[in-house]
């Protein structure tokens, strides 16, 4: 089973995306689409499905990250979906600005650019207070659970930063405070595919940053 494309590649929560590929289940109830989410992952039954295409609504908890299809006990390789907030309707009232005058109730706001950056990553036994944090990829053994820390500018629990590890067979539980970063618990399935995985961090503004090969499943 494989996803060959997702359209559009940038979608808002509550909108519909189309997955194309092969080996999907039929009918719709035989498939689950798994999104990266604020709570780790969000699982959704597609609205329509054939053997080569399906449509699915992006859940309200989805964040930018991996999307894959689970059919029976099989997980497809992931694709990346950029997720934005729900579309909003802006109601504007006209404001007249006269030269040399100051008026109230006219706000101009420019959102700051994303300052997220991963500079280091570390791993330790669950509950440990000692972490070795560095630039090298960290090992996550299959069939075990570890705490992982991700450190860098703009990453903090206060900004509700969440950690996602791309690819099937890995579950990330929540996030907590860690100096200049976040800490999360990661469970790796015994049958997870071995090899390097990308680590993705997303904050409450839906800004995201990734570290390709940040962890290695062994």
The domain locations on the chain are 2-84, 120-217
CATH 3.40.30.10 fits 120-217, yes or no: no
The partner residues of 16 in beta bridges, in order of sequence, read 57
Q: Can 2-84 and 120-217 be said to share one CATH topology?
A: yes
Tell me: the pLDDT tens digits for 189-201? 999 998 899 898 8
Q: What is the pTM of this model?
A: 0.50
206 preceded by a cis bond (ω within 30 of 0): no
| Class of the domain covering 2-84 | mainly beta
Q: Which two tokens stand for residue 151?
A: 């450190």
Tell me: the pLDDT tens digits for 47-57? 999 999 999 99
The partner residues of 33 in beta bridges, in order of sequence, read 44, 69
CA distance 60 to 42: 9
Flag residues of the chain having pLDDT under 70: 87-114
What pLDDT, on the 0 to 100 scale, is given for residue 25?
92
Instruction: Decide: 69 and 34 in contact? Cβ < 8 Å.
Output: yes
What pLDDT, on the 0 to 100 scale, is given for residue 113?
47
What pLDDT, on the 0 to 100 scale, is given for residue 125?
92
């Amino acid at each position: 089973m494989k996803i060959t494309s997702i359209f559009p590649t940038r979608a808002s929560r509550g909108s519909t995306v189309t997955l194309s590929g092969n080996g999907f289940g039929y009918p719709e109830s035989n498939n689950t689409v798994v999104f990266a989410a604020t709570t780790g992952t969000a699982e959704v039954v597609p609205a329509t499905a054939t053997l080569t295409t399906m449509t699915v609504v992006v859940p309200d908890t989805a964040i930018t990250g991996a999307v894959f299809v689970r059919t029976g006990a099989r997980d497809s390789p992931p694709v990346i979906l950029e997720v934005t907030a729900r579309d909003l309707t802006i109601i504007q009232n006209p404001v007249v600005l006269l030269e040399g005058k100051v008026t109230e109730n006219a706000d101009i706001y420019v959102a700051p650019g994303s300052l997220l950056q991963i500079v280091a990553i570390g791993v330790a036994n669950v509950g440990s207070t000692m972490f070795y944090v560095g630039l090298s990829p960290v090992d996550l053994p299959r069939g075990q659970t570890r705490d992982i820390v991700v450190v860098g500018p703009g990453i903090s629990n206060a900004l509700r930063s969440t950690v996602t590890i791309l690819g099937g067979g890995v579950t990330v539980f929540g996030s907590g405070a860690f100096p200049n970063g976040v800490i999360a618990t990661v469970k790796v399935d015994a049958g997870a595919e071995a090899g390097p995985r990308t680590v993705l961090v997303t904050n409450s503004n839906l800004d995201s940053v990734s570290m390709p090969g940040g962890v290695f499943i062994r």
